[in-house]
């Protein structure tokens, strides 16, 4: 069996690392990097740290509007698929690379497998929600990470080819966490004490492109009294510059370059609290047993909203501060909504048996 795997953005590199190893035991894998993320800190560092094979193709599409980026990826992938004639195209998550990979394949009559199928925030203002819904409806094999993802697909009439495989992030996190605890020196480098700081990640257009919202969030976090370590996504750094906020950041902020997975995991593991608008980080905080405060009004990872482990606070100062200061039991959850270790090998076996 021949599989073309499509990745392009940071979280996809993390998700594909373990699965790629498993797939290569059973099938021929051709790896395509769309080039959606291209800076060293946004791309190559993940390939190096997680020993991901060098991509066979890099489409180098770079940045652009959604139409331009998706269109360029579509054109590039179509050429690869015509040349390689795979049995399956494998896509991850909900980015423009995901949708373009699925669309190019299905138009050529090539089967599509989607890892992280069935997630819904039911918020169509998020580009990711459009990408998720369309990709699921184009897919032949749908690897749902949770029971609720399976139920979401059923509501849309999708039952064929659906597998509750568990979440590939569980394996990715365990693998990288053991490396992080041995090798990462990020706490010493930044002179941080365990449990004495907050880790912030924020890159959603809803937060970065609305400067009033951005100002409110930064202002609220400035009042927490804790050092805030903020590995800033390029989109966010640009927004901070354009809004004039970068020169007037509250003194407790430490803005640093985006981090690789190993250092980010260490920084998350030892934080008092994680503040984020990312989807994947809400889930990682849950798996690590660290309190998460989410700068959104909704989440596709509803399983994390139990026992105060994750709180949706939007961009409201009072809600942000209350959630950060609420009592919290830091034990890791006994509930395992994302499944046990082994999703990558379960997915590889199902694919190889088609």
Span 141-200, contacts to ligand UD1 by CB under 6 A: none
**Pick from 235, 254, 319, 349: which binds ligand UD1 (CB under 6 A)?**
235
Degrees, nearest 5: CA angle 107-110-113: 110
How many angstroms from the chain centroid is the CA of residue 305? Answer: 18
Q: 116 or 270: whose CB is closer to ligand UD1?
A: 116
310 touches ligand UD1 by CB under 6 A: no
78/107 Cα distance (integer angstroms): 9
The answer to the question of residue 215 lying near ligand UD1 (CB under 6 A) is no
CB of 178 vs ligand UD1, minimal distance in Å = 24
**In angstroms, rounded to a whole number, what is the distance separating the alpha carbons of residues 291 and 275?**
9
Q: Is 127 in the site for ligand UD1 (CB under 6 A)?
A: yes
Based on the shown chain and the rule CB under 6 A, indicate whether residue 94 belongs to the binding site for ligand UD1.
yes
The residue (of 139 and 224) whose beta carbon lies closer to ligand UD1 is 139
Examine residue 9 and tell whether it contacts ligand UD1 (CB under 6 A): yes
Residues 279 and 270: their CA atoms lie apart, in Å, by: 20
User: CB count, 10 Å around CB of 296?
Assistant: 21
Is residue 38 close enough to count as binding ligand UD1 by CB under 6 A?
Answer: yes
What gap in Å lies between CA 74 and CA 67, rounded to an integer? 10
To which residue do tokens 């993390």 refer?
14
From residue 1, alpha-carbon distances to 4, 7, 63, 151, 353 in Å are 10, 19, 33, 30, 9
Among 15, 21, 177, 203, which residue interacts with ligand UD1 (rule: CB under 6 A)? Answer: 203
Residues classed as catalytic: 203
DSSP per-residue codes, 252-285 = TEEEE----HHHHHHHHHT-SEEEE--HHHHHHH
Determine if 299 is a binding residue for ligand UD1 (CB under 6 A). no
Concatenated DSSP letters of 78-110? HHHHHHH--SEEEEETTSHHHHHHHHHHHHTT-
Residue found by looking up tokens 């998706």 in the block: 70
Using CB under 6 A, pick the residue from 29, 116, 128, 284 that binds ligand UD1.
128
Among 5, 18, 34, 95, binds ligand UD1 (CB under 6 A): 95
Is residue 39 close enough to count as binding ligand UD1 by CB under 6 A? yes
Rounded least distance, CB 214 to ligand UD1, Å: 14
Could you give the CA distance from residue 260 to residue 44 in angstroms, rounded to a whole number?
Answer: 9
Considering the complex, what minimum distance in angstroms separates the CB of residue 117 from ligand UD1?
Answer: 15
The answer to whether 346 and 174 have CB atoms below 8 angstroms apart is no
Crossing angle, helix 211-222 and helix 234-242, to 10 degrees? Answer: 100
37 is an interface residue for ligand UD1 by CB under 6 A? yes
* 63 binding ligand UD1? (CB under 6 A): yes
Q: Which stretch binds ligand UD1 (CB under 6 A): 6-14, 81-89, 244-252, 281-289?
A: 6-14
Between 10-26 and 343-352, two packed helices, what is the crossing angle to 10 degrees?
A: 50
Size of the site for ligand UD1 (CB under 6 A): 20
* Cα–Cα distance, 50 to 178 (Å, whole number): 12
Stretch that binds ligand UD1, among 9-17, 21-29, 157-165, 212-220 (CB under 6 A): 9-17
Given the complex with ligand UD1, which of 66 and 107 has the nearer CB atom?
Answer: 66
Instruction: Please tell me whether residue 328 binds ligand UD1 under the rule CB under 6 A.
Output: no
Q: Which of 5, 18, 34, 96 contacts ligand UD1 by CB under 6 A?
A: 96
How many CB atoms neighbour CB 291 within 10 A? 24
**CA 281 from centre of chain:** 7
11 near ligand UD1, judged by CB under 6 A: yes
The residue (of 111 and 233) whose beta carbon lies closer to ligand UD1 is: 233
234 binds ligand UD1 (CB under 6 A): yes
Which of 42, 153, 162, 239 contacts ligand UD1 by CB under 6 A? 42
Question: Would you tell me which residues interact with ligand UD1 (CB under 6 A)?
Answer: 9-11, 36-39, 42, 63, 69, 94-96, 127-128, 203, 233-235, 278
């Amino acid at each position: 069996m021949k599989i073309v795997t499509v990745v392009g953005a940071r979280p996809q590199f993390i998700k594909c690392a373990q699965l790629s190893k498993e797939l290569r035991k059973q099938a021929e894998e051709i790896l395509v990097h769309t080039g959606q993320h291209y800076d060293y800190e946004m791309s190559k560092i993940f390939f190096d740290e997680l020993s991901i094979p060098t991509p066979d193709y890099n489409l180098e599409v770079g940045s652009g509007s959604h139409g331009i980026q998706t269109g360029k990826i579509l054109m590039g992938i179509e050429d690869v698929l015509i040349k390689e004639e795979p049995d399956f195209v494998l896509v991850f998550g909900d980015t423009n690379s995901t949708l373009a990979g699925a669309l190019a394949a299905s138009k050529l009559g090539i089967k599509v497998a989607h890892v992280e199928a069935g997630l819904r925030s039911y918020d169509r203002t998020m580009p990711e929600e459009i990408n998720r819904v369309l990709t699921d409806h184009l897919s032949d094999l749908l690897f749902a990470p949770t029971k609720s993802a399976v139920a979401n697909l059923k509501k849309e009439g999708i039952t064929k080819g659906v597998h509750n495989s568990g979440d590939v992030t569980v394996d990715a996190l365990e693998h990288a966490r053991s490396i992080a605890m041995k090798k990462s020196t990020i706490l010493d480098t930044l002179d941080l004490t365990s449990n004495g700081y907050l880790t912030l990640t924020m890159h959603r257009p809803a937060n970065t492109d609305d400067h009033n919202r951005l100002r409110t969030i930064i202002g609220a976090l400035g009042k927490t009294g804790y050092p805030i370590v903020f590995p800033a996504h390029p989109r966010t750094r640009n927004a901070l510059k354009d809004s004039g906020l970068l020169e007037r950041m509250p003194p407790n902020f430490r803005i640093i370059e985006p981090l690789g997975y190993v250092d980010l995991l260490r920084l998350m593991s030892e934080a008092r609290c994680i503040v984020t608008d990312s989807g994947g980080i809400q889930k990682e905080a849950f798996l690590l047993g660290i309190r998460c405060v989410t700068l959104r009004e909704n989440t596709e990872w509803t399983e994390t909203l139990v026992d105060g482990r994750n709180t949706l606070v939007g961009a409201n100062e009072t809600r942000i501060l209350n959630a950060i200061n609420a009592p919290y039991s830091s034990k890791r959850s006994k509930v395992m909504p994302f499944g046990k270790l082994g999703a990558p090998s379960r997915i590889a076996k199902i694919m190889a048996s088609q």
